């Protein structure tokens, strides 16, 4: 299996790569459109800002490549956020593969932003991405912005307000949490993506 790991400037590239290595998969770190199109699975990580990740994709001429990609695509953290139409972070137009706008998490008494740490996943609907991940399991989050809970939300979490933790529409999926830091839950999500794609 050929797995393309897109280098869009995210700080978690190494840890995502190591997580895939643990599953017996050696991904190809790339910004090459032909490599991405030829891959069986494509992963878009991102730990920075929506504007920086989109800037990296534009600089590598990958925006239209991802918008027209027919292979399964998984966005992680900011990589998931930019699957949506727009992010409030730096007022950034995104890929538009999923409808909706990413908004800043509201800071309220007792609720700190950024949201950092383990939090509960609440199942919203069935998806092969979450096969064998039971409702109420925990995943590790680090983020200040979040996607809305829409019909594309497979699992949600809550930090002051509900937000999308796992999303899926067609061949496009995403995880707001860090699979590479979420122990067996994260490993299972990646295994499901590798085995089933996004459906």
Residue 56 pLDDT: 92
> End-to-end distance of the chain based on CA atoms, in angstroms?
18
pLDDT per residue as tens digits for the range 83-135: 999 999 999 999 999 999 999 999 888 899 999 999 999 999 999 999 999 99
CA 79 to chain CA centroid, Å, is 5
Q: What does each of the 199 residues of the chain score in pLDDT, given as a tens digit?
A: 999 999 976 656 777 888 899 999 999 999 999 999 999 999 999 778 999 999 999 999 999 999 999 999 999 999 999 999 999 999 999 999 999 999 999 988 889 999 999 999 999 999 999 999 999 999 999 999 999 999 999 999 999 999 999 999 999 999 999 998 999 999 999 999 999 887 6
Whether 77 is a known active-site residue: answer yes
C-alpha–C-alpha distance, residues 87 and 78, integer Å: 10
Which of 77, 89, 94, 143 is an active site residue? 77
41 in helix, strand or coil? strand
Domain edges within the chain: 3-196
Task: Return the structure tokens found at 133.
Answer: 């991940």
Listed in sequence order, the residues at least 6 apart from 37 whose beta carbon sits closer than 8 Å to its beta carbon are 65, 69, 71
Torsion of CA 138, 193, 19, 140, to 10 degrees: -20
- Does this model's pTM top 0.85? yes
| CATH number of the structural domain 3-196 | 3.40.50.880
């Amino acid at each position: 299996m050929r797995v393309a790991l897109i280098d869009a400037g995210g700080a978690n590239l190494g840890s995502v790569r190591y997580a895939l290595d643990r599953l017996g998969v050696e991904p190809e770190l790339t910004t090459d459109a032909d490599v991405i199109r030829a891959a069986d699975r494509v992963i878009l990580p991102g730990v920075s800002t929506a504007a920086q990740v989109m800037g990296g994709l534009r600089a590598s001429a990958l925006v239209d490549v991802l918008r027209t990609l027919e292979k399964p695509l998984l966005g992680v953290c900011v990589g998931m956020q930019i699957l949506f139409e727009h992010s409030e972070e730096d007022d950034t137009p995104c890929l538009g593969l999923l409808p909706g706008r990413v908004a800043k998490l509201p800071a309220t008494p007792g609720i700190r932003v950024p949201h950092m740490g383990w939090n509960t996943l609440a199942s919203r609907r069935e998806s092969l991405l979450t096969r064998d991940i039971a409702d109420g399991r925990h995943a590790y989050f680090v983020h200040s912005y979040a996607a809305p809970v829409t019909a594309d939300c497979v699992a949600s979490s809550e930090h002051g307000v509900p937000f999308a933790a796992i999303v899926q529409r067609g061949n496009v999926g995403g995880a707001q949490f860090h699979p590479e830091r979420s122990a067996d839950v994260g490993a299972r999500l990646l295994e499901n993506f590798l085995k089933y794609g996004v459906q």
